[in-house]
Structure 1
Amino acid sequence: MRQLWRFGLEQAKSCVFAVVIFSTLALTQLIEVPFIQRYDLILFICIITQILMLVSKLETWDELKVICVFHLIGLALEIYKVHMGSWSYPEEAITKIFGVPLYSGFMYASVASYLCQAWRRLDVNLEKWPPTWTVALLSGAIYFNFFTHHFIYDFRWLLKIATVLLFFQTIVYFKVNYRTYKMPVVLSFVLIGFFIWIAENIATFFGAWQYPGQSETWELVHFSKISSWLLLVIVSFLIVAMLKHIKEKSA
């Protein structure tokens, strides 16, 4: 139980950025702040949080670079998905581009922040990591499938099968109080994706964005969205892992 408590504590520390975002979503839904639009206020708080985490050394400069990459990747996906009518941001704001508030990129960045911090805090290591080029190819295919499935066949199930086959032997090792544990990396993808789906329900409840079926009243996000988050987690994990792997080789 002590080990489980310590593991949960390290996980909670790694989720600081995400906790701030969800707390801000909740508070700004309940409390109206004059002279500033809600989405603009959320963006301002996200920026201040990022600065404070960097100054306090909760995050490193290298981690910030990774987070910025995810901010851009997430924002591009958001703009496209809103344009296609997959979901919407109904409130007004100055800091909206093509109907998407800039704070939305920080929601993707919070996933990268969690992965980077958990990697460092739990001293994560990977065994039997596939060739980097295959990982890059799979990551690109998963990401672009989010765009192309509106026009051509949705390859998500084929991509999941490819992920299992590619990472079937890959094991993730992590430490809790100097004791080493391990699990299949594919299982870690599923667990992270599931908890992000829970977070998505919290986010839509507090009006972070709306799916078409939530325009009049909130309802549980469909279980099929776990599949989408699973793929996004895979992309996120693979990008972080590749950057760590490349950095280790160049060190």
Structure 2
Amino acid sequence: MTPETSDPGRDFTRLEAAIDRAANRILADKPARGPRHMLIECVVFVLKQAWACVFGALLLAVLVAARLWYPDDAPLARNDALTIAAILIQVGMLAFRLESGRELWVIVLFHITGTAMELFKTDVGSWAYEAEGVLRIGAVPLFSGFMYAAVGSYMVRVYRLHGLRFDRYPRVWATTLVAVGIYVNFFSHHFIWDLRWVLLVLVVLLWWRTVMHFRVWRVTLRVPLLLVFVGVALFIWLAENIGTWAGAWLYPHQEGGWEPVSPQKMIAWFLLMIISVVMVTWVYPPRPPEIREGSAERAERG
């Protein structure tokens, strides 16, 4: 929701544009300062974040529901039911115009890269899924790829919902090289040196000076991008704890009974999130705040 509903640069889906227009009609006469203004901005921020998380939230709800209520003796294996549910969620996202075609391909790409990593990690014993169902590749049920797609979905949706702009964003070619290095290290550290700390240093060096500008409703806030990365990694780690509690997959230390996921896993999620951030920049090139969205769109077409 933004006051500038006529801005042609807003890349909302049709449904989001309709919601945006209705919300601005409701908020049009609200104060521009004071406690009520601050409360409105906070509420709008929470609603936008919830809307950006809708794919992941629905998938997480399905995982928890399957843990609590799915019968053990059902004719359809639990993992297959989860895969079908994940497919229906994705189809629904498209059918109800909750995702734009422009961003779908990067979500699919993240789905593929995540599944490839799942195949390798389950083979080397990093984690495991229940050995049931037919909708799988090797030891990996197909719903696992949708968990990675949920992260990609959040990234692309939050970009346009908040109209993200950046000061001193590093070159995309440089961030792409680091993202490739991170992805390769997820595989190679099982055979050679683990370079995650080197990669963490490179991430800090690249994005240390980057400031993100994000619009709530009337207010545009500024925050160091690295701090945002840490916050998102923490959120994903919390969701991972729910996913493992629901039995979607298990780490070796959880096979004798559920225990919280080690906080060290946040480093892995932080690095994996960098890959998704870089993929999003392939669809939405980072723009500085002084470039108006409408002007940038016209420049791209020209």
Structure-1-length-normalised TM-score: 0.96
Give the 3-state SS of the residue equivalent to 1:174 in structure 2: strand
**Equivalent residue letter for 1:23:** A
Query: What's the offset of the Cα at 1:182?
Result: 1.2
Say which of 140, 152, 155 aligns to 2:180. 140
* Paired residues, number: 251
Say which of 160, 171, 175 aligns to 1:131. 171
Give the 3-state SS of the residue equivalent to 2:284 in structure 1: helix
Following the alignment from structure 2 to structure 1, what is the Cα–Cα distance between the partners of residues 49 and 171?
29
Match of residue 197 from structure 1:
237
**Equivalent residue letter for 1:231:** L
Instruction: Report the aligned-residue RMSD.
Output: 1.5
Following the alignment from structure 2 to structure 1, what is the Cα–Cα distance between the partners of residues 143 and 124?
19
Match of residue 230 from structure 1:
270
User: Could you say which structure has the greater relative contact order, defined with CA pairs below 8 angstroms and 6 or more residues apart?
Assistant: 2
* 2:42 corresponds to 1:4: yes
Following the alignment from structure 1 to structure 2, what is the Cα–Cα distance between the partners of residues 213 and 130?
39
Following the alignment from structure 1 to structure 2, what is the Cα–Cα distance between the partners of residues 211 and 46?
22
Query: What's the offset of the Cα at 1:179?
Result: 1.4
Q: Is the 8 A contact 2:131 2:139 kept in 1?
A: no
Q: Which structure would you say has the larger Rg?
A: 2
213-222 vs 120-129, which moves further: 120-129
Give the 3-state SS of the residue equivalent to 1:245 in structure 2: coil
Structure-2-length-normalised TM-score: 0.80
Following the alignment from structure 1 to structure 2, what is the Cα–Cα distance between the partners of residues 178 and 79?
45
Following the alignment from structure 1 to structure 2, what is the Cα–Cα distance between the partners of residues 122 and 132?
21
**Equivalent residue letter for 2:196:** R
* 2:112 corresponds to 1:112: no
What pairs with 1:29-40 in structure 2 (closer than 5 Å)? 29-33=67-71, 34-40=74-80
Query: What's the offset of the Cα at 1:243?
Result: 2.7
Runs of 4+ aligned residues of structure 1 deviating over 3 Å after TM superposition are 246-251
Say which of 72, 78, 81 aligns to 2:112. 72
**Equivalent residue letter for 2:138:** F
**Equivalent residue letter for 2:266:** I
Following the alignment from structure 1 to structure 2, what is the Cα–Cα distance between the partners of residues 92 and 221?
23
Following the alignment from structure 2 to structure 1, what is the Cα–Cα distance between the partners of residues 110 and 218?
31
Say which of 196, 202, 207 aligns to 1:162. 202
**Equivalent residue letter for 1:27:** A
Match of residue 51 from structure 2:
13
Say which of 141, 147, 152 aligns to 2:192. 152
Q: Is the 8 A contact 2:103 2:283 kept in 1?
A: no
Unaligned runs of 5+ in 2: 1-38, 287-295
Following the alignment from structure 2 to structure 1, what is the Cα–Cα distance between the partners of residues 214 and 200?
24
Query: What's the offset of the Cα at 1:91?
Result: 3.6
**Equivalent residue letter for 1:58:** L
**Equivalent residue letter for 2:195:** F
The share of aligned pairs that are identical, in percent, is 39
Following the alignment from structure 1 to structure 2, what is the Cα–Cα distance between the partners of residues 11 and 222?
26
Say which of 256, 269, 274 aligns to 1:216. 256
**Equivalent residue letter for 2:53:** C
